[in-house]
Structures are given as structure tokens and as C-alpha cells.
Amino acid sequence: MSGNSSSFWQRFCFVASKYGKLCLGLGIVLIMTLASLGAPFLTTCPPEELHLDHILEAPSENFLLGTDRLGRDVFSRLLYGGRVSLWVGFVAVGISVSIGTVLGLVSGYFRGIIDELIMRFVDVMLCFPSFFLILAVIAFWEPDLTNIMLVIGLTSWMGVTRLVRAETLSLRERDFVASARLCGTPTRSILWRHILPNALGPVLISATLGVAGAILIESSLSFLGLGVQPPVASWGNMLMEGKNVLETAPWLSLYPGLAILCTVLGYNVLGESLRDLFDPRQKDRLF
Amino acid sequence: MMSHAPLLLRIFRKCLWILIVLWGITVISFLVIHLAPGSPTDMDVTLNPLAGEAARARLEALYGLDRSLFEQYMSWLDRLLHLDFGNSMSADARPVMTKILERLPLTVSMNVISLLLTLLIAIPCGILSACRQNTWPDHIITLLVFLGFAMPSFWLALLLMGFFGIDLHLLPLSGLTSMGYETFTPWEKFLDLARHLTLPILVYTIGSLAGMSRYMRSCMLDVLGQDYMLTARAKGLSGYTVIMRHGLRNALLPVITLLGLSVPGLIGGSVIIESIFALPGLGNLFYSAVMARDYTMIMGNLVLGSVLTLFGNILADICYGLADPRIRLRADAKTG
């Protein structure tokens, strides 16, 4: 009957409008993650293998996305490069979220002079042109993966600190915190077991968006030659190599950029939809 | 008199805060740069087979690197208080301030032009998106916004270079001027500069467009839900007047803050864009200073960048206060 089908359609539209964005974001993120984790099964040759008789070949059946100036398979490098980007994204965000959460909790719960000090430090860090700072530090210390993740993490915790502090400031006045304090719960346990779990939602959302930001910074660094060093593939340094042969081999510049675009898009869409679903106050506020 | 006292107090506290933040910036930049392994003398000494340890020691004494970290910091800070950033540690040894001032106009003018373009496009997009929320124009703009957010600027630059420079042969790929620039007439010089700067400014603009129009949309949505909008409609004003006169003015206020906050991003972004297009701007200067371990130059750039950011924020605060009487009243009530 038509009534039945229209109600099905209405339900479908309702679900799609509510969860469509979430599914899209989650889908892109999952596909990207699975593709880079499953790289050994999806590719025919390792990313560093040279095919000197197939230099700068256009995409074909043998080489799905063509080859670069050393005859390496672009498809394989793309998938293995994805591992680097995702790894950097996750670890850097792990670092920044840990720092931000601890500082925000302490700042918001104890207030007073500690709060003032931490917040002024946040102000100072926010004033740095952070990309300049990251560039200088990476160039001075070795540009290896650990340093890149550390530096990105250490320069991007300020947003999370402010977020957690704001949540803590309002949560600490709530009755359940007061009753926990009355019961003699130690402060550490009030912070970890009563306040943190309630502040976790916004933190997770900002972490999702943070992964996207970290991936963008890593690829920018690699593009400038200060990130992941060749021969290890990363999307940024593939683009750097592609830049020099833009005229003769445009596919070298096309696909790594597309990969960055899709991944960052996926995490942004996921973060946004999580915010729409769990934090309606912040709805329609991108970043 | 009554109303001046709290104002003065507020200004005093603000100045104190600025000084503390500035001091913190100098300490962090100094420590990060001077505690790193290696030294500015590495390049001169290791690349020159004739230079030995004695030459290195002489160079370090010349740059003052043989003193303790604290002494170095104090003497650097002392010079900074006289607005002297010291001399560059590269071979030309010119004052850092002069070198920065040479490069600053290009970077600043590119950013200002692209910012104006961004506002020009983003504000109408944001209004359209908000007033027609959840219709197809809104969906299309939202889709473009998400793409814009995820687009790495260097990839966009490569795509544009490939399309306009290589496929269409329409615009030059890199550099600021063509061969024989000195012989051009003023009009030709202007055209030549414009042709060279089109792509970089386009990349800058697209980069900030997404954030700005999305922000405009959410500000407008906030305003649309306010009671005074309903009142204006109830008075019988047309939809256009309500949105332009009553809505837009209020929705533009938070955008001022966003402009202040976008300064560090613009400064950071200049490194990538200027290095792709080989433009002699501030970002390129910083990049080569980092590569040559030119400590004084790096410090000068970091401090200058932070000061620009700080003043961007303060300027935004002041403009916000000037534009919105409610903020002024609230602040007076708080301190008074």
C-alpha cells in the first residue's frame, strides 16, 4: 500500500538525515584505515621496489596509479603512505588530548592561581604562529616520525584544555560531585571517575577533528621536505616529488592529494556529525 | 571621572597581560631554539675542510654562542627592548629587522587582498546558507565548505599550477616578476605582478573561504532565532530589510573575532604557499632561516609573528567593543 511505503520513506529520510553524515564520515574513515592496514594484501609489489624499466609510466593495468621517477608503484606507495599519515594523526592527537585533558581538569577543578597560570600559558601558546614553531623544531631535531608526532601533539593541546576546563567548571558545581566530596572521595578519584567521564563527549569530538588537522600538518611538513623522509612513502613527500614532474606526470600529484582530501574530509564529517548528535549546543559550529 | 577609573584599570590590566604573554613567547622561543642539538656554526665549519675547531670557536664567540644560555637570553632581551633583533647569522650579517621589513609588504598585501576577497564571497554565502537552511543552496555551500576544509593548500596550488600554468598557458607558474621586469612601463609592471600573484592569492582565498562562510552561517543562524528579528518582522519590515539591517549587523560581530584569530594561520600558511610559488615573502625568509639555523632570524620571525597575532586579537577585541555597545556596558558593569 502507498501509506505503508510512504511511512517507510519517511522513516528512511528521517534516519538518513540524522545518521547519513555519520555513516558517510565513518565509511570514509573505515575505508581509508582498512586500505592502509591491508596494504600488503591489496598491492602486488612493495612500496620501495624499483622498476627502472617502467619510469614515470601513466596509470595502466600493471600499475594501477602509474609509477614515479624511480619506477615505484604509486598505488602501493599511496596505501603504505596512508599508514604513516594515520599513525601520525592518532599518536599526535593522543598526546595533545592527554595533555589538554589533564591541564583542563586541574585548571577547572582547582581554579585560583593554578588556573590563572595554566590559562596564561594557553594564551602564550595560542599566540605562536604554530607552523613556524613546528618547522623550526623539526628542522633542528631530526625530522623522524617520533619527533613529528611529538611536536604536533605538543603544539595543539590548547583547544582541548579550554574545552575540558569549561566542562569541569560547570560539572564541579553539580550535586553528584558535591555528594562525592561529602562521602570523602579523594580528589583524584573525583576528577577521574566523576568529572572526566562526563566531559569525555566533547573531548572525543575534538579529538576526531584533531586527527584531520594533524594529518594536514604532517603532509605539509613532508611536502616541505621536513617530514617523513624518503624512501619511506608519505602522502606529503609523494606530492613533493610529484611537483617537479607536474608537466610530464600529473598523476603523481593528483592521487596523493586526493588521498589527503578524502581522509581529512572523512574525519571532519565524522567529528561534525558526532557533535550534531551528542552536543546540540554546539550544532552548526564547525571547529 | 567615575567612569574613567575602571576603564584605566582595565587598560592597565590588559597591558600587563600583554607584557606577560610577550615575555612568555620570548622565553619559549629562546629555549626551543637554543636547546636544540647542533649550532648555526655547523654549516660553515663542517662544509669547509680548512675550518677547524679554532675557527668554530671564533665563530661562536662572534655570535656570542660561547656564553651561558641565561647570559645570551638577557643580552638578546636587552637588545629586543631597544627594538633591535640583532644581526642575521647568515653570511650577509644584515640586521634582522631590515631583512624582515623587506619581505613583510609582499606577505601582508597578499594576505590583505585575499582576506578582502574572502569576506566578499563568504558573507553572502553564509547569509544565503543560513536564510535558506536545509535547502539545496545550503547543501551545496556546505559540501563546498567541507571540501575546502579538507583541501591541503599545497595540493590546491599544484592543481591550479597544472591547470592555469601548464594546460592553459595562461598564468606564470612561479616567481614574482618576469624576465626584463626593470624595462617595463609602470602599467606593464602592475600587470606582470598581478599575473604572478593571481594563483597565490587564489590559494590563500580558497583556504580561508570555507571557515569564514561556515562561521558566518552559524552566526547568522544564531541571530535569526533572536526575538528582535521576530519583532522587526512583526513591525512589517520586509524580509530583506530585516536580514540586512537587523540580522547582518549582529551576525558580523563574531566575524571580527575570527579575523583576529586567523592571523597565526595566515602567517604559518605563507611558508607553504610562498615556497611553492617561489615568492620572496616572510614565509620564504623563515624557511631559509630555519634551514641555515640562523638563530637571530628565527627568533625575530617568531617574536614578530606572535606580536602580530597578539595585536590582531587586541584589535579584534577593541573593534568588537566599539561595534557592540552591549559588550562595553557589560564590561563596565563587571569592573565598576
Judged against a pLDDT cut of 80, whether residue B36 lies above it is answered with no
Please give the Cα distance from B21 to B264 (Å, whole number). 15
CA atoms B48, B49, B51, B54: torsion sign: positive
Contacts of B142 in chain A (CB under 8 A): none
Report which of residues B49 and A36 the model is more confident about: A36
Query: Up-side HSE of residue A11: CA atoms within 13 Å toward CB?
Result: 6
Q: Is A277 on the interface with B (CB under 8 A)?
A: no
User: Residues 170-229, chain B: which have Cβ within 8 Å of A?
Assistant: 211, 214-215, 217-218, 221
What are the φ/ψ torsions at residue B95 (nearest 5 degrees)? -60, 140
Please give the Cα distance from A227 to B25 (Å, whole number). 25
A112 backbone φψ class: left, alpha, beta (φ>0; ψ -120 to 50): left
* Mean predicted confidence (pLDDT) in A264-279: 86
The CA distance from A182 to the nearest CA of chain B, in Å, is: 33
Cα–Cα separations (whole angstroms), residue A36 to A27, A80, B201: 14, 6, 35
Residue A201: all three cell numbers together: 563527549
Q: Widest CA span of chain A, in angstroms?
A: 76
CB contact under 8 A, A139 and B291: yes
Please give the Cα distance from A206 to A165 (Å, whole number). 14
Please give the Cα distance from A204 to A185 (Å, whole number). 26
User: Residues 25-54, chain B: which have Cβ within 8 Å of A?
Assistant: 25, 28-29, 32-33, 36-38
Please give the Cα distance from A139 to B233 (Å, whole number). 59
Report which of residues A101 and A54 the model is more confident about: A101
CB contact under 8 A, B298 and A136: yes
Please give the Cα distance from B274 to A28 (Å, whole number). 32
Instruction: Identify the band that residue A5 occupies on the pLDDT scale cut at 50, 70 and 90.
Output: low
CB contact under 8 A, A264 and B149: yes
DSSP H helical segments within A111-244, as ranges?
112-127, 130-140, 145-154, 158-171, 175-182, 187-189, 196-223, 235-244
Nearest CA in chain A to B212: A286
Report which of residues B191 and A161 the model is more confident about: A161
B51 backbone φψ class: left, alpha, beta (φ>0; ψ -120 to 50): beta
Please give the Cα distance from A57 to A63 (Å, whole number). 8
SS3 A67: strand
E runs forming strands in chain B:
none
CB contact under 8 A, A286 and B25: no
CB contact under 8 A, A220 and B152: yes
Please give the Cα distance from B198 to B300 (Å, whole number). 29
Residue A181: all three cell numbers together: 566530596
Residue count of chain B: 336
ipTM of the shown complex: 0.82
* CA nearest neighbour of A259 among A82, A59, A91, A86: A82
Cα–Cα separations (whole angstroms), residue A275 to A98, A144, A283, B313, B333: 20, 34, 7, 27, 34
Residue count of chain A: 287
Based on DSSP, count helices (H) and strands (E) in chain A, helices before strands: 12, 0
Q: Is B103 on the interface with A (CB under 8 A)?
A: no
Judged against a pLDDT cut of 60, whether residue A284 lies above it is answered with no
Cis-peptide into B40, omega within 30 deg: no
The CA distance from A3 to the nearest CA of chain B, in Å, is: 26
CB contact under 8 A, A132 and B155: no
pLDDT digits (tens, 9 = 90+) for B99-126: 888 888 898 899 889 989 999 999 999 9
Pair B109, B74: CB distance under 8 Å: no
Question: Rounded to two decimals, what is the model's pTM?
Answer: 0.85
- B135-151 burial string, b = 16+ CB within 10 Å, else e? eeebeebbebbbebbbb
Q: Is B322 on the interface with A (CB under 8 A)?
A: no
What are the φ/ψ torsions at residue A285 (nearest 5 degrees)? -110, 105
Residue ranges per domain, chain B? Answer: 2-81, 96-335
Question: What is the second-level CATH architecture of the domain B96-335?
Answer: Orthogonal Bundle (1.10)
* Matching residue, cell 577543578: A109
pLDDT for position A99: 95
* Mean predicted confidence (pLDDT) in B214-225: 86
SS3 A73: strand
Cis-peptide into A231, omega within 30 deg: yes
SS3 B95: strand
Please give the Cα distance from A203 to B282 (Å, whole number). 35
* Mean predicted confidence (pLDDT) in B307-313: 83
Please give the Cα distance from A253 to B155 (Å, whole number). 7
E runs forming strands in B140-298:
none
Pair B282, B104: CB distance under 8 Å: yes
Size of interface A-B (CB pairs under 8 A): 148
CB contact under 8 A, A129 and B309: yes
The CA distance from A178 to the nearest CA of chain B, in Å, is: 28
pLDDT for position A280: 61
Contacts of A140 in chain B (CB under 8 A): 33, 36-38, 290, 293
* Mean predicted confidence (pLDDT) in A211-224: 91
pLDDT digits (tens, 9 = 90+) for A74-85: 888 889 989 989
pLDDT digits (tens, 9 = 90+) for A170-200: 898 899 988 998 998 898 899 988 898 888 8
Nearest CA in chain A to B31: A137
Q: Which domains does chain A have, with CATH numbers?
A: 79-279 (1.10.3720.10)
Q: Which residues pair with A67 in a beta bridge?
A: A73
The CA distance from A249 to the nearest CA of chain B, in Å, is: 10
CB contact under 8 A, B21 and A120: yes
Pair A134, A180: CB distance under 8 Å: no
- The proportion of chain B whose per-residue pLDDT surpasses 70, expressed as a percent, equals 93
Q: Is B254 on the interface with A (CB under 8 A)?
A: no
